[in-house]
Amino acid sequence: MDLSIYLNMLLSSIWYLIPLFIFASVIKSAWFKGVLGEWQVNLLIKFFLDKNEYHLIKNVTLPTNDGTTQIDHIIVSKYGIFVVETKNMKGWIFGSENQKQWAQKIFKNTSKFQNPLHQNYKHVKTLESCLNIKNETIFSVIIFIGDSTFKTKMPDNVRFARGGIEYIKDKKGIFFNNQEVIRIIGQIESGRLARGFKTNHQHVKHVKRFN
């Protein structure tokens, strides 16, 4: 058989595999895991929080003095404003409130990641400044999604999946009336940067400067 025929057959076979390789690389990427985790938390919020009382604003990028900061979920209610950071991770998770870095252990492999409480602190302070409101009305919430297990005692506002929703629902003190809730939502929407590739690209560049 002519060599060119073999080459054509080989190339035809490889051509069908290319989309599979691309798909496999995408679903293993940190970006996809982040998007999947945020999507799962969005579902939890929509299913288990009353949308008439808890108003969800997703993927909010706000300007800061040194660039931008990106918030996964902001939930506005009369019970306060909840700033939610999502972590889609697997394995054992080790950390405490004041540690600069936490640890993720999968079998014998251990890796470090930024303390999500510290990460979310910047989000909270940026939002506090943007809205010009008292910090006791804003709550930081960390929600872990995925096949992970906490191996150290975590602060009360660090929860797994539904636990994060329960933390939010447990807050019963009333801080805002209906008009104030509407005003806050409007302030966030008007203060956020336009959603799109350009905003995301600029934020990624800003984050990489500090990594």
Sheet (strand 67-77) strand order: 55-64, 67-77, 80-88, 138-145, 158-160
Q: Which residue has the higher pLDDT, 197 or 36?
A: 36
Q: What is the mean pLDDT of the chain?
A: 86
Structure tokens at 139: 């709550």
Q: Assign 200 to helix, strand or coil.
A: helix
Mean pLDDT, residues 7-17 taken together: 63
pLDDT digits (tens, 9 = 90+) for 78-111: 999 999 999 999 999 999 999 999 999 999 999 9
Q: What's residue 49's pLDDT?
A: 98
Instruction: State how far the Cα of 196 lies from the Cα of 77, in Å rounded to an integer.
Output: 26
Ranking 20-34, 147-161, 163-177 by mean pLDDT, the lowest is 20-34
pLDDT given for residue 205 in this prediction: 42
What is the average pLDDT across 113-137?
Answer: 95
Which tokens sit at 176? 């805002």
The number of C-alpha atoms within 13 Å of 12 and in the hemisphere containing its C-beta is: 6
Distance CA 207, CA 197 (A): 15
Q: Whole-angstrom Cα distance, residue 129 to residue 63?
A: 11
**pTM of the entire predicted model:** 0.81
Q: Tell me the two tokens of residue 20.
A: 């599979």
